[in-house]
Chain A
Amino acid sequence: DTGVSQDPRHKITKRGQNVTFRCDPISEHNRLYWYRQTLGQGPEFLTYFQNEAQLEKSRLLSDRFSAERPKGSFSTLEIQRTEQGDSAMYLCASSLAGNDQPQHFGDGTRLSIL
C-alpha cells in the first residue's frame, strides 16, 4: 500500500472556472477527510465520509463546494465558480474507524486562482 494519494498536485485556474480534485485513501480505511490549508495556517476541516456516506460538513464548505465518495473508495472534491479566496492547499486524510485511529495524509493539491 502506497498511502493516501491526491491528484493533481498543483492546479492553476482562472477565477470562475470549476475544478475537481481526487483523493485515493489507503485501501482498508473507511473514513476519509478533506481539509483546507491556507498560507501560515493549520489545516481546517471541510468534510468527512464514513464509507460512502458524507456525515459532516464544515461551515467553510460553501454551496460552491461538493464532495463525493462513490462506493466508499476514492473521493472527489469539486469547487464551482472558483474565487480568489479558494486558493489554498487541499488535503485529504484517511483512517480506520474510531477516533483513536491516526489520520494519514496525502501530499495535497495546491490550488492557485489567477
Chain B
Amino acid sequence: AQTVTQSQPEMSVQEAETVTLSCTYDTSESDYYLFWYKQPPSRQMILVIRQEAYKQQNATENRFSVNFQKAAKSFSLKISDSQLGDAAMYFCAYRSALRGSQGNLIFGKGTKLSVKP
C-alpha cells in the first residue's frame, strides 16, 4: 500500500521569504502522480501544483515549485515570495496512474504554514 509522510506538522515563514515543505512517499509503482493541495481555514481544498512521475522536469506554478526526487521518493514544495494569503494547511498527496485503479488520492497528515507580516 502507498503511504505519504509529511514530517513537519507546522512551519512558519516571514512574508516575502521562501519556505520549503517536505513530503516523502512510499510506493512500488513506477507511474503515479503527486500533488500539493492547500486548505485555508474553513475553506475548500484547492490544487496548488501537480507532478507526473514520468516527467523529470520539476513542475512550477508561479511562486510555487516542487523538487521531485523519484529515486529518493521525495516531493517537496517551495513557496517563494510568501504572502499572507499562503497561510493554510498544505497536504501532499499521491495518486496511482495504474489503469483500472480507482484514482483516489492518498494524503499526508499535512503541514500548517503560518506567514508572519
Contact = CB atoms under 8 A, between A and B. Distances in A.
A80 to B, nearest CB: 23
Interface in A44-86: 44-45, 48, 55-56
B4 to A, nearest CB: 8
Contact of B91 (A3, A42, A98): A42
Given A42-B110, A43-B107, A44-B107, A108 B102 contact: no
Nearest to B96: A99
Contacts of B93: 42
Contact of B107 (A42, A95, A107): A42
Contact of B33 (A4, A35, A56, A100): A100
In which size bucket is the chain B interface?
20 to 34
B102 to A, nearest CB: 4
A90 interface: no
Interface in B53-79: none
Interface string B12-50: 000000000000000000000101010000011111001
Interface string B77-117: 00000000000000101011110011111111110000000
Contacts of B4: 42
Interface of A: 3-4, 31, 33, 35, 40-45, 48, 55-56, 91, 93, 95, 98-100, 102-108
Interface of B: 4, 33, 35, 37, 43-47, 50, 52, 91, 93, 95-98, 101-110
